[in-house]
Structure 1
């Protein structure tokens, strides 16, 4: 009976999200509460929910201050020189332009917000595409490949969801994935090189004596001096860069827990760049919508995972899964997880997959001796394809900025995205991020 209720809860949760009957935030709260009451767990509901929220509190704090930190860095103009340098270096060569697009998109995607990455990258690069007659589909493709890869950072969303659903440390989940991200970045550069050569064969290399007319992402043009937005702090560029480098080094070395690192980094960045109290409030308020949307989702997920675990539903579903997996196939569960993550994260939302399906796979994997961290890393392979899903709102922003048809973008980018997932799968197995056999 508990197994039936568990699968029904996951199914109802997924259907409500996929049909837009409820937002993920509301479904994560209302659906598990309703099923817990239906299963007769009303008396222990409060404890289960609080336990779930308590387990996700570090992840919520991490996302809150990571988003604020990178928001402050963007406001202060940390990434502006990268954009200007890329624009100067690419010239009129389509190959350099497309590869420069990948580099710029990867850098600005560090904030974990795809929408911000799309806006900055397209604002900087699309004028060049238009002036040379390059296809904007090419830009949309490589921008999405770069963003999908960089979205694997702990503050990007999927990794945080996987860590939350499995109750593991986000940093433990993330660090072994860094080599796979490097491999996927190199693959994105390769795709850019291939697509750039196609564009070069079609239109040739252009001489752009008027490069100074190309808009820069800060406003104004590449080589002309225009008034900067009031929140920019160009005189603190090297200070902000040093702070970010130190923060990333501490993250990789595990000097302190990730939430505390980003809390300290945010506090220092805000105090250094915006010592005026009123300006601090304005900068925080400017990023409050992004923070609220993400952090509220994480704490709502605590309700879902707390009830899923506290009622024993996870164990019940895991038993049903392991019952149909022969012992000879148990060693392939990480590989199975990686492969099913590709269609699942495309056809359903990240919330439905990571909070509804991943815990089942992880519990089943544990029966065969697989660590939850390995299953979690394997589940992230599908993120190389996920951003092409029609369920991802930011993708509509990208195709709108590039002025391309959504379906055409899917058809053009999907083969490359599937290859990127294969690269991550093979690289992950090679470096031991997750076992393939």
Structure 2
């Protein structure tokens, strides 16, 4: 009975989110409450909700201040010199341009937002691609690879969701994945270089087989307008480096590191009260929306765990699996993680599917972190820039002026390959 209500509750959340009949916030709150009532745990709901919200509070705080922090850094122009440098140093060489595109998008994606990455990187480099006659699909693929791998960062949406759903510290979850992240980053660089070399050959053939695309010398392509090296730039760069060091050394809790970084950045870049209010309000909507989803997820996981529904569903799932299959969950999940981005949006997967898989795996002796790591090598990381489940995908193709089908046919293979490479590295290192 308990397992049946739990399964119906999870399915209701998934269907509600995927069908877009209700918002993720509503689905994550109302359905588990109904399920809790049906299981006879009405008196304990307030306790379960409080426990769930308390569990996600540190991660919600980190995400809130991370979005505000990196949003302010972007506004201050911290990334503009990088844009200008890459545009200036890679002109005329398709392979260098493709690699530079990955580097630029990786830097910009430090804020964890695919939409802002696409809005900064694509318009900055599209004129360069068009002037050289390079395929816009190369631009979209390179930006997608960088953003997909970058979505694994501790303040990225998938990692935050996985940590929230499984009640794991976000840095505790991410640190073992650091070599896997670097493997993905290097793979993206290699793929970009290969795509650039292929473009060089295509362009050389198009202009008669002898020579290279003409060098771009116009002022608008040199990126000189981006270079603004003043004291604020170096102060902002120092703040970002200090925040990152504090995160990876655990000198400060993640929320505290971004909180202090935001305060320092606000005082340096917007000393006036009015300016401070404006810049915070500008980035607040994106931050508040995600924080609200995280708190709603806390309600969902708190009730599902407290009422025993999650444990009952996991036991039922383990019972129908072939003997020994539960112990291989991280392996097949890591290989399927990227394609699963086409079936599940991040909220439905990380809050609905992952906890069940994790519980089944734990019962078979699999560390819960390994199952989370397996999901993070592809599900809404490398998978999100080509998935129709995310609005950011349509922003990317719109900015690059290409069709979704063309983008998917061109980019799915490199993104899936990067996901497999990260999965294999994770298996070798024992984190998957």
TM normalised by structure 2 equals 0.94
- Quote the offset at 1:336 in angstroms: 2.9
- Quote the offset at 1:99 in angstroms: 1.0
Preserved CA contact (<8 Å) 1:146 1:188: yes
Aligned to 2:208: none
Cα offsets for 1:325-352 (capped at 9, x unmatched) = 3443343222133234333332111111
Q: Take 1:209 and 1:352, find their aligned partners in 2: how far apart are those partners? A: 46
Q: Secondary structure of 1:255's partner?
A: coil
- Quote the offset at 1:5 in angstroms: 1.0
Aligned to 2:217: 210
Of 384, 390, 409, which aligns to 1:392?
Answer: 390
Aligned to 2:422: 424
Preserved CA contact (<8 Å) 1:105 1:147: yes
Aligned to 2:280: 284
Q: Take 1:187 and 1:374, find their aligned partners in 2: how far apart are those partners? A: 22
Q: Secondary structure of 2:251's partner?
A: coil
Q: Take 1:197 and 1:276, find their aligned partners in 2: how far apart are those partners? A: 49
Please identify, of 163-172 and 30-39, the stretch whose mean Cα deviation from structure 2 is larger: 30-39
Cα offsets for 1:122-154 (capped at 9, x unmatched) = 121100011111111111111111101101112
Cα offsets for 1:373-401 (capped at 9, x unmatched) = 22211111222123311110111000000
Preserved CA contact (<8 Å) 2:341 2:389: no
1:265 to 2:298 alignment:
no
Q: Secondary structure of 2:224's partner?
A: coil
Aligned to 2:90: 90
- Quote the offset at 1:212 in angstroms: 1.4
1:354 to 2:361 alignment:
no
Preserved CA contact (<8 Å) 1:77 1:233: no
- Quote the offset at 1:324 in angstroms: 2.6
Q: Take 1:240 and 1:202, find their aligned partners in 2: how far apart are those partners? A: 41
1:101 to 2:97 alignment:
no
Q: Take 1:278 and 1:234, find their aligned partners in 2: how far apart are those partners? A: 23
Q: Take 2:71 and 2:430, find their aligned partners in 1: how far apart are those partners? A: 33
Preserved CA contact (<8 Å) 1:211 1:222: no
With over 3 angstroms needed to count, the CA separation of the structure-2 counterparts of 1:254 and 1:425, relative to structure 1, is same
Uncovered stretches (5+) of structure 2, i.e. residues with no partner:
205-211
Aligned to 2:223: 222
Aligned to 2:207: none
Preserved CA contact (<8 Å) 1:337 1:361: no
Q: Take 2:338 and 2:93, find their aligned partners in 1: how far apart are those partners? A: 34
- Quote the offset at 1:224 in angstroms: 4.9
Q: Secondary structure of 1:238's partner?
A: helix
User: Across the two proteins, how many residue pairs are aligned to each other?
Assistant: 423
Preserved CA contact (<8 Å) 2:91 2:216: no
Preserved CA contact (<8 Å) 2:386 2:408: yes
Aligned to 1:112: 112
Q: Take 2:284 and 2:244, find their aligned partners in 1: how far apart are those partners? A: 23
Q: Take 1:387 and 1:201, find their aligned partners in 2: how far apart are those partners? A: 27
Aligned to 1:7: 7
Please identify, of 195-204 and 152-161, the stretch whose mean Cα deviation from structure 2 is larger: 195-204
With over 3 angstroms needed to count, the CA separation of the structure-2 counterparts of 1:113 and 1:331, relative to structure 1, is same
Aligned to 1:218: none
With over 3 angstroms needed to count, the CA separation of the structure-2 counterparts of 1:348 and 1:127, relative to structure 1, is same
Please identify, of 111-120 and 259-268, the stretch whose mean Cα deviation from structure 2 is larger: 259-268
Aligned to 2:41: 41
Q: Take 2:91 and 2:179, find their aligned partners in 1: how far apart are those partners? A: 31
Please identify, of 180-189 and 232-241, the stretch whose mean Cα deviation from structure 2 is larger: 232-241
Aligned to 1:145: 145
With over 3 angstroms needed to count, the CA separation of the structure-2 counterparts of 1:85 and 1:367, relative to structure 1, is same
- Quote the offset at 1:234 in angstroms: 4.2
Misfit runs of 4+, over 4 Å: none
Please identify, of 398-407 and 327-336, the stretch whose mean Cα deviation from structure 2 is larger: 327-336
Q: Secondary structure of 1:328's partner?
A: coil
Q: Secondary structure of 1:99's partner?
A: helix
Q: Take 2:339 and 2:127, find their aligned partners in 1: how far apart are those partners? A: 34
Aligned to 1:375: 371
Aligned to 1:297: 293
TM normalised by structure 1 equals 0.93
- Quote the offset at 1:413 in angstroms: 0.9
Preserved CA contact (<8 Å) 2:132 2:214: no
Of 246, 249, 253, which aligns to 2:249?
Answer: 253
Preserved CA contact (<8 Å) 1:384 1:420: yes
Q: Take 1:410 and 1:27, find their aligned partners in 2: how far apart are those partners? A: 30
